[in-house]
Amino acid sequence: MSERLLVLVRHGQSEWNLKNLFTGWRDVDLTELGVKEAREAGRKLKAQGVGFDVAYTSALKRAQRTLSLVLEEMGTTGLPISKDQALNERDYGDLAGLNKDDARKKWGEEQVHIWRRSYDIAPPGGESLKDTLARTLPYYVQEILPSVLRGQRTVVAAHGNSLRALVMVLERLSPEGILAREIATGVPIIYRLNADSTVASKLDLAA
């Protein structure tokens, strides 16, 4: 039986991560550090002897470029790549493009903290983490998971909050548990699944 491999990678540092801005669906590119992080992710996966048959990413270029750099470092070309808005970062609505410190001055420290760290309270015009899960999880169940269970070695390059949705399901975390979970930029997480889609093993390549 071929292995049921699923690798999650958050995009490398983006230009707006660097500037401390709320990004969401704004389509910004990677910084030089972000490019290095993506390449390093590819090298780490290659060193683990990991290969891929299929890839999934968001409709945003920071995730797409990260995936491209990871595959380039691994010497993997010609992979089928599915791009979908379901894997986009959480939409920060009226906060998008604002400096996080400026947002705190405008709405107050406590309110911004609630928007950023609550499970089901959305910023004005944007999505809560619960909303993000509601669009990401069906895509995972209908598109990504079947690939993994068929034995296709699968990589997903996406964003902090869309990947949290997948981690929440894979690791069976509560809403409180997923809020406390940070996903680092450019660090691959390698899961191997059982036939019933539960996690057989997990390896976080942070180092």
Q: Hey, which bits of the chain come out as E strands?
A: 5-10, 54-57, 81-83, 154-158, 189-193, 199-204
Q: Say if residues 200 and 45 touch (Cβ distance below 8 Å).
A: no
The tens place of each residue's pLDDT in the chain, 207 residues long, gives 578 999 999 999 999 988 999 999 999 999 999 999 999 999 999 999 999 999 999 999 999 999 999 999 999 988 999 999 999 999 999 999 999 999 999 999 999 999 988 899 999 999 999 999 999 999 999 999 999 999 999 999 999 999 998 999 999 999 889 888 889 999 999 999 999 999 999 999 985
Q: Which residues are catalytic?
A: 11, 89
Q: What is the pTM of this model?
A: 0.94
Domains of the chain: 5-204 (3.40.50.1240)
Residue type, 54: V
- Angstrom distance (rounded) from CA 168 to CA 26: 25
Q: At what angle do helices 61-74 and 32-47 cross, to 10 degrees?
A: 40
CA dist 45 → 41, 52, 115, 170 (Å): 6, 10, 34, 20
